[in-house]
Amino acid sequence: MPTQPLADIRVLDASRVLAGPFCGQMLGDLGAEVIKVERPGAGDETRGWGPPFLNDLSAYYLSCNRNKNGITLDLSQPEGLRVFYDLAKRSDILLENFRAASADKLGVSPAKLLAVNPRLIVCSISGFGRTGPWSDLPGYDFAIQGLSGMMSITGPVDGPPSKVGVAMADVVTGLYAASAVLACLHARRQSGHGYAIDLALLDCAVASQVNVAQAYLTSGTVPARQGNAHLQIVPYQVFKTADDWLILAVGNDAQWQRFCQAVERPDLAADIRFTTNTQRVRERGILVPMIVELLITRTALDWQQRLLAADVPHAPVLNYQQLFALDQANARGLKIVVRDIDGKPVDLIGPPVHIDGLDRAESTMPPRLGQHTDNVLRELLGYDTQAIDALRAHKVI
C-alpha cells in the first residue's frame, strides 16, 4: 500500500473534549501516529458524556478519538512532566487546550514546549485566544455560539435564537487547527524551526459565518434570523409537501426558470418581479407563499422526480437511519466498522477524505483509558518494566 500522507508524523494530543481531539483524529485519518494523553483515573471528560455508551465508552468520545494510542499521565507531578517532555521531543505536533494560566503553571506553555523541542508545532486551542481581555476565560461551544452571532441568525424567524444541532464552534475550530498545523509542517521544511499556533473558538466561529457576517460589515444592518430560508437567495429553504419536508435550493436564475418548468408554472417564469435572484429576494414575501401553496399539492417523492429531471437542486430531509441506509453513504464509507479490544465489531463515523491512488488506512478503535501507556513508554521512550512499574506506583500513569 502506498504511504499515507502523514505516515512519518507523530502527534501528541493533550487536548480534551472536541476541537483538539477532532483535529487529532483528522491527522490520524491521514496516517499520523497520534498519542492521546489523559489524566490517570479520569481521562477526557467526554468519556462520561452519555448515554448512549458502548460498554464504558460514550458515543461522544467515540466520535472524535479513532486512530489514536491512549496513555495516561499526571502532568502535575515532576515525573509526569518529564515523561511529557520526552514525548514532546519525539513528536512533530502537539495539540493542547489548557487555559493559559494552567499551562504556565504546569510548565507546558508553548514557549516552554518549543524550548524542549525547537522543531515542535504547538497548536493551542482556547475559547478566546492568548490575547485580549478574555484570554484566560474558559470557552464552551454553546456560549461561543451565542457570543459569535451564530445563534442570532439561527432558529425560527419569530422564535428564540437557536444553537446549531452539533457543537459547530468546536468542529470548525478543529478543522482550522488541522489546516494550520499542516501549513506549519510545510513551512518547517524550509525554516527548520517549530511554530506556536494560537486558535480561538470565538475567532473560528465568527470566520465560519462567512457571507452572513460579511453582510453586516458591508451594510451595517444586523441580519434577522431567516429560519430555514437564506438571507441572500430565494427560493432557498425547506418547504412542506403533501407528506414530508423538501429542501429547494434554487441558486441562480437558470435554475429558477427550470424550476418553473418542472412545476408547470410558466407564469412565474415570465413574471418580471421574479426574473433575477435580486428581485426574488426583494419580493420573497410575495413569492415564498406562492411556492408554499404549490408544493403542498404533491408528495415529496413526486416533486423530487420532477426536480431531478429538470436539474433543479433539491433534497429530502433525512434522519440518521435514512442517511446511513443510502447506497451513496455506503459507497463513500460514511460508516466504517472497527474492532474493539475484544474483537467485536463497532460502527463508527467514517473519515471523509479520499485521495486518488491511496486506499484509506484501516481505522482503529478509540482507546480505552490508558490502553497503550506501557507500549508507548516501552517502545517510544525505552522505559523498562521496572521504570514503568515505579511510575504506576507513584500514580504518574
CA 16 – CA 60 distance, rounded (Å): 12
Name which of 130, 132, 143 is nearest 205 in CA terms: 143
Q: Is 84 a member of any domain?
A: yes
DSSP string across 160-177: -----SS-HHHHHHHHHH
pLDDT value at residue 109: 95
Q: Is 222 a member of any domain?
A: no
CA 367 – CA 349 distance, rounded (Å): 16
Q: Is 226 a member of any domain?
A: no
Q: In this structure, what CATH number is given to the domain that contains residue 56?
A: 3.40.50.10540
Say whether both 168 and 272 belong to one domain: no
Q: Is 3 a member of any domain?
A: no
Say whether both 17 and 122 belong to one domain: yes
Which pTM value belongs to this model?
0.91
What the block records as the C-alpha cell of 391 is 511510575
Report how many helices (DSSP H) and strands (DSSP E) the chain contains, helices first.
18, 13
pLDDT value at residue 283: 96
Mean pLDDT by 10 residues, the chain (397 residues): 87 97 97 96 93 92 96 96 97 95 93 97 96 92 96 91 94 98 97 97 97 95 90 95 96 96 95 96 96 96 96 95 96 94 93 90 93 96 95 95
* Structural domains of the chain, count: 2
Say whether both 257 and 139 belong to one domain: no
Q: Is 305 a member of any domain?
A: yes
pLDDT value at residue 1: 53
Say whether both 268 and 203 belong to one domain: no
Alpha helices for 90-200 (secondary structure H):
100-106, 110-116, 141-147, 168-191
Q: Strand 314-316 and strand 245-249: pairing?
A: antiparallel
User: Which 8-state DSSP code applies to residue 271?
Assistant: -
Residue numbers annotated as active site: 170
Choose one of 316, 347, 364: the last residue of a domain. Answer: 316
Say whether both 252 and 150 belong to one domain: no
* Three-state SS at 348: strand
Say whether both 282 and 354 belong to one domain: no
pLDDT value at residue 287: 97
Choose one of 268, 292, 316: the last residue of a domain. Answer: 316
- Cβ distance 73 to 42 under 8 Å? no
Residue 347: left if φ>0, alpha if ψ -120 to 50, beta else—which one?
Answer: beta
Residue range of the domain that includes 240:
236-316
